[in-house]
């Protein structure tokens, strides 16, 4: 099928790489575009990182400096020693912004594979177009971003939960008889910095939801799967590799958790092993967010495998019976007495058909690999590795790591 001609009735050709993107759209994108912080190719990433991270972190530094000596004198946690705030605004926000470029470049290529591999039947092309159009319409939704802003705004009234994470006074809030009192830096932290971070995070969840919805709608199409494809997924092997696209989100979530736990371990007397449940839940959450959406194709893969097992099983039986009759039983006498079996195409066809049937029998119905699960888990846990130094010296840690490797 010529993918250049798969769009009709006024719908633009999907092979144009700008026609599908999870990030190039929405009110905020238009605002950043007018501010020259983003372009149509999702460039200017570093400029966006500097501006947004600087907006969140630099005012905290400037507002906390005049009170630095007083903070130290009172025994409160100073700004420079707050691992959580630095990780959030100097690591997590840059990762969330940089991930936009990766997702923009890779997701459109993944979606194009449905066409390049001829998986969409001609009669279902309109349905595929509708799935794309709905995804783009939802991505550009003003209402969706307003809801995200509303959720972030309402979250301001529950910020006291964050401030109570430590049992000590900090550079942004102190505990008084009347409750928690914010410092000037604390107000910026509560009103600007944290809402920006939470908006970026919630907007990513919204984009993941758009992706899940698109995959589900595509899975409702009767795809032209090829059970003999060597990817053991009927030609959908490219879907199993999409977890790489969202790896930065796994690292960002692990970093968010690492920041919170670092403060608890360093300044609240906690031990890293006390947070096994929290760490495990974060790993599971990331796995569900990235890998669970791929399960929408399981039902169709299962049907294709069952049908292929029946059809190829019957074909192999018919072919092998004819081979046996010709070469072993001699019942049909279809070959001359001097015909040699060495290099005979009958033998080659027997081997080739058997190999194809093995591929069908080994076809997987779940497009999730062990490597994907382990890689995502490792990416989530990576930011937590430095906290292991709170439990054992570097020398002991290196010895154990080398012992595991060698």
Q: What is the pLDDT of residues 22-43, one digit of tens each?
A: 888 888 888 888 888 887 666 7
Instruction: Taking residues 366-391, report their average pLDDT.
Output: 90
User: What pLDDT score was predicted for residue 264?
Assistant: 86
Q: What is the pLDDT of residues 196-215, one digit of tens each?
A: 999 999 999 999 999 999 99
Share of the chain above pLDDT 70, in %: 82
Q: Measured between alpha carbons, how far is residue 398 from residues 255, 375, 377, 381 in Å? A: 22, 21, 21, 17
Return mean pLDDT, the chain: 83
- Is a pLDDT exceeding 60 seen at residue 15? no
Select from 123, 136, 119, 104 the least CA-distant residue to 23.
104
User: What pLDDT score was predicted for residue 259?
Assistant: 92
> Distance between CA 34 and CA 235 in Å, rounded?
41
The model's confidence at residue 99, banded by pLDDT at 50, 70 and 90, is very high
Q: What is the pLDDT of residues 219-277, one digit of tens each?
A: 999 999 999 898 999 999 999 999 999 999 999 999 999 998 998 888 877 888 889 99
- The residue assigned the tokens 């058997």 is 354
| H or E segment and range at residue 94 | helix 93-116
> Distance between CA 46 and CA 48 in Å, rounded?
5
Dihedral sign of CA atoms 206, 208, 214, 219 in order: negative
Q: For residue 360, report the phi and psi dihedrals to the nearest 5 degrees.
A: -60, -45
- Is a pLDDT exceeding 50 seen at residue 124? yes
Does 168 or 406 have the greater pLDDT score? 168
SS3 category, 397: helix
User: What pLDDT score was predicted for residue 4?
Assistant: 41
Which residue pairs from 308-311 have beta carbons closer than 8 angstroms and sit at least 24 positions apart in sequence? 308/227, 308/228, 308/360, 308/363, 309/360, 309/361
The model's confidence at residue 334, banded by pLDDT at 50, 70 and 90, is low
Angle at the Cα of 355 from the Cα atoms of 349 and 361, rounded to 5 degrees? 135
* Contact by Cβ (8 Å): 138, 210: yes
User: What pLDDT score was predicted for residue 14?
Assistant: 43
The model's confidence at residue 156, banded by pLDDT at 50, 70 and 90, is low
Q: What is the pLDDT of residues 266-294, one digit of tens each?
A: 887 788 888 999 999 999 999 999 999 99
SS3 category, 173: strand
Q: Across the strands, what pairs with 175?
A: 180
* Contact by Cβ (8 Å): 293, 249: no
User: What pLDDT score was predicted for residue 18?
Assistant: 46
Q: Across the strands, what pairs with 182?
A: 173
The model's confidence at residue 74, banded by pLDDT at 50, 70 and 90, is confident
- Is a pLDDT exceeding 80 seen at residue 12? no
- Is a pLDDT exceeding 60 seen at residue 165? no
User: What pLDDT score was predicted for residue 10?
Assistant: 36
Tokens of 42: 């999702």
State which of 82-86, 173-177, 251-255, 400-404 shows the largest mean pLDDT. 251-255
């Amino acid at each position: 099928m010529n993918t250049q001609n798969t769009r009709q009735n006024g719908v633009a050709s999907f092979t144009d790489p700008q026609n599908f993107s999870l990030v190039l759209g929405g009110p905020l994108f238009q605002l950043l575009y007018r501010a020259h912080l983003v372009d149509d190719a999702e460039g200017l990433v570093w400029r966006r990182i500097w501006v947004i991270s600087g907006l969140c972190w630099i005012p905290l530094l400037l507002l906390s400096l005049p009170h630095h000596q007083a903070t130290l004198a009172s025994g409160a946690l100073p700004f420079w020693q707050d691992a959580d705030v630095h990780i959030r605004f100097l690591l997590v926000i840059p990762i969330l912004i940089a991930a936009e470029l990766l997702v923009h470049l890779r997701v459109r290529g993944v979606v194009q594979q449905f066409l390049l591999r001829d998986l969409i039947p001609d009669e279902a092309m309109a349905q595929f177009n509708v799935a794309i159009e709905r995804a783009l319409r939802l991505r550009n939704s003003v209402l969706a971003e307003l809801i995200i802003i509303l959720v972030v705004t309402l979250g301001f009234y529950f910020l006291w939960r964050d401030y109570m994470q430590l049992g000590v006074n900090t550079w942004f809030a102190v505990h008084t008889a009347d409750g928690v009192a914010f410092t000037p830096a604390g107000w910026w932290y509560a009103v600007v910095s944290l809402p920006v971070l939470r908006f970026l995070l919630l907007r990513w969840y919204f984009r993941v939801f758009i992706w899940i919805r698109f995959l589900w709608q595509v899975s409702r199409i009767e795809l032209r799967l090829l059970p003999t494809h060597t990817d053991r997924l009927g030609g959908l092997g490219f879907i199993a590799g999409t977890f790489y696209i969202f790896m930065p989100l796994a690292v960002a979530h692990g970093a968010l958790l690492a920041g919170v736990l670092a403060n608890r371990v360093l300044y609240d007397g906690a031990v890293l092993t006390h947070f096994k449940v929290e760490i495990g839940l974060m790993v599971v959450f990331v796995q569900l967010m990235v890998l669970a959406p791929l399960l929408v194709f399981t039902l169709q893969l299962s049907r294709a495998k069952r049908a292929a097992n029946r059809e190829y099983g019957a074909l192999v039986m018919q072919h092998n019976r004819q081979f046996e009759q010709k070469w072993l039983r001699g019942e049909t006498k279809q070959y001359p007495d001097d015909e040699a079996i060495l290099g005979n195409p009958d033998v080659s066809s027997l081997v080739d058909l058997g190999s194809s049937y093995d591929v069908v029998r080994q076809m997987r119905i779940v497009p999730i690999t062990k490597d994907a699960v382990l890689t995502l888990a490792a990416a989530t846990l990576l930011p937590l590795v430095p906290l292991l130094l709170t439990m054992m010296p570097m020398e002991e840690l290196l010895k154990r790591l080398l012992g595991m490797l060698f």
